[in-house]
Each structure stands twice: as C-alpha cells, then as structure tokens.
Structure 1
Amino acid sequence: MEIDVSADAFPYLTRINVLHSFGEIIDIPALVAANTHPWYNQTLCEVNQSVVRLGVVQGEYHWHKHDAEDEFFYVVSGRFLIDLEDRVVELSPGHAFVVRKGLLHRPRAPEKTVILMVEATGIVPTGNA
C-alpha cells in the first residue's frame, strides 16, 4: 500500500507496504540511489510488532505526534533535526533518538539525509496532529 500524501499540506511519499520478508538481504544503498522524492519513507521489514522504515529526506515535515507509539530515529548519513516544543535535537551519522509517544515534534533535514526508523506496526506515518 502506498500513501501519496502529496497535497500541499503533506508533500511526502510514504510507502507502508512491507518491501522485504524474513531472510532477504535489504540493499539500503540501492534504495537510496533509486529515490528521487525529497521526503521518501519506505517500510523495509517487520520485526515482531514493529516495522523498520527507510527515510531519504530533505526539508521539513509537519508538526505532529503519535498518541500511542514511540518513534526511534537513526541517522545513516546527512544531518537530521527534531524540533521539540522546548529544544532542537541535532543528529549526525551514527546518532539515534527516541521520541516518546504523545510528544509534539517536527523532523527536519537541511540536506539530503538517510535515516532508519523503528515504529509500531500500526503507527500512522503522518501523525495525529
């Protein structure tokens, strides 16, 4: 399933279909190289009751929150900022951060950035706010 939320309010390409099954090799560099969208999110695989997603992002996401799920972000390359109501978290390659459920946040990437995210399987990628 693909959610193309490319209306003016949500100019993102979010694919929630599970791309790979158990036992398959996932070629992250090939997926990154094939991407042409400025804010791309692809579900790679399922792990227990969670999914691992690949993000190739540049620009700003909207302010949002997830009422019932935490989000884990890991930066592979680039620079990733997470605006919180009281501070900005800056992540470089090799850095990770968990946004607690219910916390209003806005992800940003001032340059092309590759991230991996771990989220509950049922999370709504565009948030509740």
Structure 2
Amino acid sequence: MTDQPDLPPGEAAAQRSNVVVDLRDYRSNKDPLPVTFHRKELDLILRIYGRMVGEGEWRDYAIDHSPEKAVFSIFKRSGEMPLYRVEKNPKLATRQGAYSVVNTHGLILKRGRELQQVLKVFDKVLKLVET
C-alpha cells in the first residue's frame, strides 16, 4: 500500500517513480549472493592441490560458498576432518586480509591480502643436510 491515489492504468505507469519504498523491506527481501572464488583464485589453489596430490599428501577437496565467506577444504581422506582450509572472507579485506589458510585445529597459518602470498605456506623449504 502506498499513500498515492489510485490512478487509471495509463497514468499509473507515468507515476511509478513517485512510489515510496521502505528500504528495510527491500533489503530483507533480497538474498545476498554467496562469496565465491574467482577463476584466477581457483587456478592458484588447484595448482598447489595438484602438486600435493602428485606427491601423495592430499586426496580430496571440497568447496563451500556462503554469504560470509568461501572455503576450499583439503582432505587426506574424504571421511576425515580437513587438513587445511583456504578461506576467502571479503569483510576482512581492509583489516588482516581476505585470504587465510587454517589448519585442522583452527590455527591460522597465514593470512594476507594476496592469495598467492598466502599460499606460499604450502611451499616446501629445502634443508641443508650434512653428510
């Protein structure tokens, strides 16, 4: 209902710009879109995932999208808890950074604004072995 008088059909179209809409009702009726990984982000994640599968360390993954964040979970076996979670949370982009890598226990291993830098936590460091 509006406070506007009833108009004939021809005039109603011309007067639609004068309709008052309550923004709270408008916003509550709109479902927020889920946060997703973009193609370039998935390419970076899947490149590391493929390398680790080839080494026999990882075997399965899952991708979850919610209105708050997107999560790429990495499993050793599909029936277990994820070994790692790569999370994208846009609300943290201006603070600590939108991307983070979290281990099984919930400890944040690395966080940052650029996914490529955050994924360096999976790079293996060569160690000098004395013989």
Taking structure 1 as the reference length, the TM-score comes to 0.31
> Which entry has the higher C-alpha Rg, 1 or 2?
2
Larger relative contact order, structure 1 or 2 (CA cutoff 8 Å, min sep 6):
1
Which structure carries more strand by proportion? 1
